Amino acid sequence: MIASRQPLPLHRSLALGAIGTLAFLGFWAFLARSGLVSPLFLPGPVAVAERFATLTERPFAGGTLPAHVASSLQRFLIGYLLAAAVGVPLGLMMGWSRLLDDIVTPIFDALRFIAPIAWVPFAALWFGTGIGGPILIIFAGAFPPCLINAYRGARYVDARLLEAAEMLGTPGHRMIAEVLLPAALPSIVAGLRISAGLGWQSLVGAELIVASTGVGYMMVQAQGAVSTATVMVGMVAIGLIGVVIDVALRALETRLRRHHG
């Protein structure tokens, strides 16, 4: 069993990935053409690809696909950066100060079990279909991993380094910025990666309900118009952008790890 988890050479991994993808597309095409499922509910891969191309130029539900993607990405970035800007420093401070840990932890533990999608009714009441709703929901999804990983990173910093910093008379703000932050950086970046995934997933969920633009909104409108191909284009776009975000953050993570030695 151990041997089956050994890493394969890169070209073999790529080849196997291509085989998997082709098999999936083949199965999909077969199902669509077999007549087992109505083409109205399951268009084939070619039809979806054509629809994808069309949507890049022709607007649907108030915008082209790139316009919807841009609007989704903008909300995502705002919500995600907000979550990181609050979650990381708060997590570091909680990891350092027992007092703050004890104050925040009970509230945080209760709040993080409310799934991002469970914030939708509240967000709808507050913001309607304005930009605030999706941002609140992304924040709810992205915030906990940011905080938890920064907290863990700060908690498990080598105790000697903290003692050295105290002995050198390090004031609080510098303790956070120059000792805890760099020491916890690998853990923080791992958290940012997890929270990007969760945030992106929550966003599209939110757009299904509390938005008037964005990929999720486009999909809901397509559902109303019974354009299954458009719905599936939305799903493909969500998946592809998710992969791009993850690859970018993973590259950042690898670089940081190398720098950290």
Partner 1 sequence: MSAIRFEQVEKSFGSHVKALDGVDLTVADREFVAIVGASGCGKTTCLRLVAGFEAPTGGRITVGGKPVTEPGPDRAVVFQQFALFPWKTVAQNIAFGLRNKGMPSAERQERVAAAIDMIGLSSHADAYPHQLSGGMQQRVAIARAYVLEPEVLLMDEPFGALDAQTRVVMQEELVRLARRNPRTVLFITHGVEEAVYLADRVAIMTRRPGRIKEMIDVKAVRETERWEEHARIEDVMDLESFIHLRTHIWKSLREEKPAGR
Contact residues for partner 1, defined by CB under 8 A: 158, 160-161, 163-171, 174, 178-179, 182-183, 260-261
Q: How far is the CB of 251 from partner 1 (least distance, A)?
A: 20
- The residues with which 60 forms a beta bridge, in sequence order, are 63
Contacts (Cβ under 8 Å, ≥6 apart) of 224: none
Nearer residue to partner 1 within complex by CB, 118 or 161? 161
Q: How far is the CB of 189 from partner 1 (least distance, A)?
A: 14
Nearer residue to partner 1 within complex by CB, 17 or 172? 172
Region of residue 42 (phi > 0: left; psi between -120 and 50: alpha; otherwise: beta): beta
Q: How far is the CB of 94 from partner 1 (least distance, A)?
A: 21
Region of residue 250 (phi > 0: left; psi between -120 and 50: alpha; otherwise: beta): alpha
Nearer residue to partner 1 within complex by CB, 140 or 180? 180
Distance CA 180, CA 187 (A): 11
> How far apart are the two ends of the chain, measured CA to CA in Å?
30
- For residues 237 and 69, the answer to whether their CB atoms sit within 8 Å is yes
- For residues 201 and 141, the answer to whether their CB atoms sit within 8 Å is yes
Nearer residue to partner 1 within complex by CB, 18 or 161? 161
Could you tell me the two tokens for 189?
């970046």
Nearer residue to partner 1 within complex by CB, 89 or 182? 182
